[in-house]
Amino acid sequence: MHIYFYSNTSETDQNSQQILQYLRRVGATVISETSTKKIDSLAGTLPMDKVDVMLIYGQKLDAQAGYWLAWAVSKNKDVLCLLPEGTKLDAALEHLLTDQVATKKLHLARYQSNDVLEKVSNFLETFGQDDLAELYNIKYTLRLSRKINEYLDWKSESTQIDKATWLRQNIQGLMEADKDWQKYLATKFKVKK
């Protein structure tokens, strides 16, 4: 999962640092930017269209946060906008939150300093195991013997399913039957205290 994280707080903000650590711990590729520090070095290697999720965190929305929020909504990306409990929303965000199309992708979470990681965890849990995980967009090179390839050719012909689909279906079957994998998935996004 590729996540763009924007924060308009200082680089030393504890919540901001905890969010970054958490995202990396759960295996996300993170591009991060703050209002005082430009994009980290990974950004040069990951085009923005490859970003799956946008996380916007701060005390309020600044112009840059508004830009990223609008960009993400226009590109149909999932967005989590984290604002402190009690913060007054600006008119543009209030308007977006009334739009039925935008609200499918735009998620607003009000946080207190002690539950910000829980808000991020809950957001990622809602779609991390379904939507993004089921996109077949990772290419994988697999070296096979002639005998295995012959078997796959035969299986593909006898089942009328192409080899890649047959392999995916069988790997998914193994994943569903693997109790250790299921246990891992159940706790993947849990916040460690």
56 lies in the same domain as 8: yes
Higher pLDDT, 9 or 109: 109
107 lies in the same domain as 175: no
The domain tally of the chain equals: 2
154 lies in the same domain as 122: no
pLDDT band at 42 (very low <50, low <70, confident <90, very high): very low
Does the pTM of the predicted model rise above 0.75?
no
**pLDDT higher than threshold 90 for residue 9:** no
**pLDDT higher than threshold 70 for residue 61:** yes
Please state, in angstroms and rounded to a whole number, the distance separating the CA atoms of residues 188 and 184.
Answer: 6
13 lies in the same domain as 44: yes
86 lies in the same domain as 161: no
In a domain, 119, yes or no: yes
Range 3-24 average pLDDT: 83
Residues sharing a CB contact under 8 Å with residue 9, sequence separation 6 or more, in sequence order: 15, 16, 34, 35, 57, 58, 59
150 lies in the same domain as 120: no
69 lies in the same domain as 122: yes
Residue in 170, 52, 193 with CA at minimum distance from that of residue 117:
193
- Tell me which residue range forms the domain holding 151: 146-187
pLDDT band at 11 (very low <50, low <70, confident <90, very high): low
The distance of Cα 188 from the centroid of its chain, to the nearest Å, equals 13
Q: pLDDT tens for residues 130-139?
A: 544 555 656 7
